[in-house]
């Protein structure tokens, strides 16, 4: 539908209530079509009543089967139509209603509502009903018949007067305390309308506009509550009521139950007490033995054992009070008496220390023993829980030539304690500790240069009575040439003993790593141990084992640690022996006779030769029964052409290189291009310091365009 505003009119027309029927409407039914537009005369289309501004229904019309309506506002203010309903009545039954409520008709203006799709038919009666904010009703109807008569029904000329509302409320609880949540309930009424607003004043500068609010008061007092209500016509009413808010008493908490011993201060704690709406200002205690105290916490000592009732009274800042009671058990401590040693004795070794104990009002549950050499600083011995009370004391851990006291402390089932000290001092006498390295044991007894994780053990005895506390410990390694301990990394086991009891033997374990350049030959392994004698506090030590051990360090080089003492010589400036990574038997390196990156030993048409010489290898030990030289080799050398025989040779020297004996040879008759192990028995050289030399010779400068010789993993193995 369409709304169209029409220009204002000059005259003021106020319609209070109008029921207007349209005058004669001419309809043409023969063709089945309604007349395009038919309106009523000015006299029959409006009504004027009263002297206020209201609307009028100016006209109704039928246009092409749809309804047209004109609404006029003759007043000085815009008027909002609260209720606007259009419907068809057939056989006195409402059908197809259309609601266009909420539109506004401007002051001194007309609004046209067009094209209302009601599907009008002959015999229909169309009703238009409008209600303004003031409650006045206008109606108009249109009968779709050849002839209709307009009627008018005027409303009352004066609206009835408004009755104001009646304010009232209630609250719960009826006797509230501070901080209680009070529920306020509105009981107000309005006889001719509805209440639309509520204003509460709670008497403490706080307000609310809820109908049924809640409120609480942190302070006890009498408060005046005011409720003002307003109805839908703007009328108001106010009511006031007094509410008395009561103080909440504090809550006393004496804690407990408590226990203590006769004559000892027992602390009483009332800090658990609180005041829900203020502060506690005093704590007063009655200890149940005719004595009193004050304070949040306080202490009291009882002179007699027994059970007492303790009362705490607390007072808050509004004079509210509360009390709480608890109990205290006052215990009589147990009695204890040291029976041995009690003075004058001389103790030795492991002694039994004894005491007797009893409790007059309970049970002794523990007796603990201590010793002291000055009566001030006490050292724990041990405890016992059953009678007769006895503990073992190892006097081998304390100094000789010193006097001692024993103290026993008994504890009962309530935690009370009593103690006693020996009547006089006593002494201790134990022979001093003495350390002796019995033997050194190694496994295995033949090791190679570079070996790791070798186990060595040292057995040490303490020949005295007193304990020996270990402070230092290590191994020594000796060759006929002198101390070679720097060739070894020694790690003591973290589980090694830290003390040796008198008359016992302990075993100490070490892990040993051999350096790659360690001295070869027979090595003597010995040890050193140092400690403190518990009887004298003196330092004791031993640096020679009754039976030291020996091992043979065998020569080994895997070419993974540089030249490692090897030396090279050459027949010309082209030094061909060098370390390479081109080929190797183990790991990443080997010795190579040839030219790096060219992979041939040719140096022009010239003969070339070179040597690779080891360090001195010790085979002098009388325990050696056999010796073997082993090495791994790969070669490609010239094949035999007439008398041209390129050759590889190994020599041995027993005089530091002054003279050499060949012990291995390969030449052109022995082509090979695989890694394989060469083994040479050198047992005939036992008893000497030997030197090994690897030698390569091209003999002449012809036919040398071959890769050369590789040597890796050189061993000298011995047996004992």
CB < 8 Å & 24+ apart, contacts of 40-47: 40/150, 44/20, 44/150, 45/20, 45/150, 46/13, 46/15, 46/18, 46/20, 46/72, 47/15, 47/18, 47/20, 47/152, 47/154
SS3 539: strand
Six-digit token pair at 675? 């890694």
Partners of 19 in the β-ladder: 139
Cα(579)–Cα(566) distance, integer angstroms: 11
For 187-257, strand residue ranges (E) read 195-201, 207-208, 214-215, 221-231, 236-245
Q: What is the rounded distance in angstroms from the CA atom of residue 192 to the CA atom of residue 347?
A: 113
Q: Check residue 199 and give its pLDDT.
A: 97
Peptide bond into 341 cis (omega under 30): yes
Per-residue tokens: 428: 């201790």
pLDDT of residue 54: 55
pLDDT means over runs of 10, the chain (720 residues):
38 25 26 29 33 57 66 76 66 67 78 66 63 55 42 50 94 93 96 95 96 94 96 94 93 94 93 92 96 96 93 92 95 94 95 96 95 96 97 97 96 91 95 98 93 97 98 97 97 97 98 96 97 97 97 96 94 88 96 94 84 97 96 86 75 97 84 87 97 91 82 96
Look at residue 105 in the predicted model and tell me its pLDDT. Answer: 78
HSE-up of residue 664 (Cα within 13 Å, Cβ side):
20
Beta bridge partners of 314: 283, 322
CA distance 540 to 355: 37
Write out the two tokens for 552: 């043979």
Residue 521 Ramachandran class (φ > 0 left, ψ -120 to 50 alpha, else beta) = left
What's residue 1's pLDDT? 46
What is the C-alpha to C-alpha distance for residues 502 and 278, in angstroms, rounded to an integer?
73
Domains of the chain: 2-143 (2.60.40.10), 169-245 (2.60.40.10), 258-331 (2.60.40.10), 335-428 (2.60.40.10), 437-554 (2.60.40.10), 558-719 (2.60.120.200)
DSSP state, residue 519: P
Burial classification of residue 74, based on how many CB atoms lie within 10 Å of its CB (0-12 exposed, 13-18 middle, 19 or more buried): buried
User: So what's the pLDDT on residue 103?
Assistant: 75
pLDDT number for residue 528: 98
Q: Which two tokens stand for residue 710?
A: 């590789």
Per 3-state DSSP, the chain is made up of helix, strand and coil in percentages (nearest 5) of 0, 50, 45
Cβ contacts of residue 414 below 8 Å, gap of 6+? 259, 329, 331, 362
Instruction: Give Cα 127 to chain centroid, integer Å.
Output: 78
Residue with tokens 């039914």: 29
- Give the integer Cα–Cα distance in Å for 676 and 684: 24
Q: Return the pLDDT at 145.
A: 41
Q: What does the pLDDT read at residue 154? A: 44
- Would the pTM count as exceeding 0.75? no
What is the pLDDT at residue 607? 81
Query: Quick one: pLDDT at residue 27?
Result: 25
403-412 vs 364-372, strand pairing mode? antiparallel
Side-chain half-sphere CA neighbours of 528 within 13 A: 8
Whether the Cβ atoms of residue 128 and residue 118 lie closer than 8 Å to each other = no
């Amino acid at each position: 539908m369409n709304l169209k505003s029409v220009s204002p009119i000059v005259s003021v027309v106020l319609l209070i209530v109008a029921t207007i029927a349209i005058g004669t409407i001419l309809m043409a039914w023969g063709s089945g079509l309604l007349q395009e537009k038919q309106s009523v005369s000015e006299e029959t289309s409006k009504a004027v009543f009263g002297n206020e501004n209201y609307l009028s229904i100016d006209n109704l019309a039928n246009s092409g089967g749809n309804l047209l309506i004109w609404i006029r506002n003759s007043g000085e203010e815009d008027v909002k139509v609260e209720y606007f309903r259009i419907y068809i009545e057939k056989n006195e039954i409402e059908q197809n209603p259309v609601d266009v409520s909420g539109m506004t008709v401007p002051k001194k203006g007309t609004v046209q509502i067009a094209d209302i799709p009601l599907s009008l038919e002959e015999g229909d009666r169309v009703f238009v009903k409008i209600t303004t904010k003031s409650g006045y009703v206008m109606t108009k109807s249109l009968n779709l018949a050849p002839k209709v008569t307009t009627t008018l029904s005027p409303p009352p000329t004066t609206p009835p007067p408004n009755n104001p509302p009646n304010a009232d409320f209630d609250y719960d609880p009826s006797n509230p305390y501070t901080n209680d949540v009070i529920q306020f309930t509105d009981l107000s009424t309005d006889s001719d309308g509805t209440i639309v607003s509520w204003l509460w004043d709670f008497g403490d500068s706080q307000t609310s506009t809820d109908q049924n609010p809640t409120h609480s008061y942190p302070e006890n007092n009498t408060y005046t509550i005011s409720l003002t209500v307003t109805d839908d016509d703007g009328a108001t009413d106010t009511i006031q009521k007094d509410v008395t808010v009561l103080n909440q008493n504090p809550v006393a908490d004496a804690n407990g139950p408590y226990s203590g011993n006769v004559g000892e201060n027992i602390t009483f704690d009332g800090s658990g007490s609180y005041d829900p709406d203020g502060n506690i200002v005093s704590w007063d205690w009655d200890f149940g033995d005719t004595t009193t105290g004050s304070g949040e916490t306080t202490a009291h000592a009882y002179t007699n054992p027994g059970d007492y009732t303790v009362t705490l009274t607390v007072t808050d800042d509004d004079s509210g009070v509360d009390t709480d009671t608890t109990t205290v058990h006052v215990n009589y401590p147990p009695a204890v008496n040291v029976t041995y040693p009690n003075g004058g004795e001389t103790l030795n070794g492991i002694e039994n220390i004894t005491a007797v104990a009893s409790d007059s009002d309970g049970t002794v549950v523990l007796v603990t023993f201590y010793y002291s050499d000055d009566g001030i600083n006490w050292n724990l011995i041990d405890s016992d829980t059953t009678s007769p009370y006895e503990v073992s004391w190892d006097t081998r851990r304390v100094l000789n030539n010193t006097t001692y006291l024993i103290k026993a402390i008994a504890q009962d089932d309530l935690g009370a304690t009593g103690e006693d000290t020996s009547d006089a001092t006593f002494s201790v006498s134990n022979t001093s500790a003495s350390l002796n390295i019995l033997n050194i044991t190694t496994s295995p007894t033949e090791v190679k240069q570079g070996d790791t994780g070798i186990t060595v053990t040292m057995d040490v005895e303490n020949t005295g009575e007193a304990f020996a506390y270990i402070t230092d410990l290590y191994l020594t390694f000796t060759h006929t040439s002198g101390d070679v301990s720097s060739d070894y990394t020694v790690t003591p086991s973290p589980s090694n003993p830290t003390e040796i009891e008198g008359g016992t033997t302990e075993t100490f374990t070490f892990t040993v790593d051999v350096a790659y350049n360690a001295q070869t030959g027979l090595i003597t392994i010995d040890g050193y141990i140092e400690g403190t004698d518990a009887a004298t506090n003196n330092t004791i030590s031993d640096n020679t084992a009754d039976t030291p051990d020996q091992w043979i360090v065998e020569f080994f080089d895997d070419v993974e640690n540089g030249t490692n003492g090897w030396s090279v010589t050459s027949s010309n400036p082209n030094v061909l022996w060098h370390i390479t990574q081109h080929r190797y038997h183990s790991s990443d390196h080997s010795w190579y006779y040839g030219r790096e990156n060219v992979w041939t030993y040719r140096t022009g048409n010239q003969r070339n030769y070179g040597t690779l010489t080891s360090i001195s290898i010790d085979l002098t030990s009388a325990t050696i029964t056999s010796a073997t030289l082993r090495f791994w080799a790969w070669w490609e050398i010239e094949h035999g052409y007439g008398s041209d025989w390129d050759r590889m040779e190994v020599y041995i020297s027993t005089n530091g290189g002054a003279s050499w004996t060949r012990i291995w040879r390969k030449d052109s008759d022995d082509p090979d291009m695989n890694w394989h192990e060469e083994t040479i028995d050198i047992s005939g050289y036992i008893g000497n310091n030997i030197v090994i030399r690897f030698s390569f010779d091209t003999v002449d400068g012809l036919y040398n365009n071959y890769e050369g010789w590789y040597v890796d993993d050189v061993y000298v193995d011995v047996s004992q």
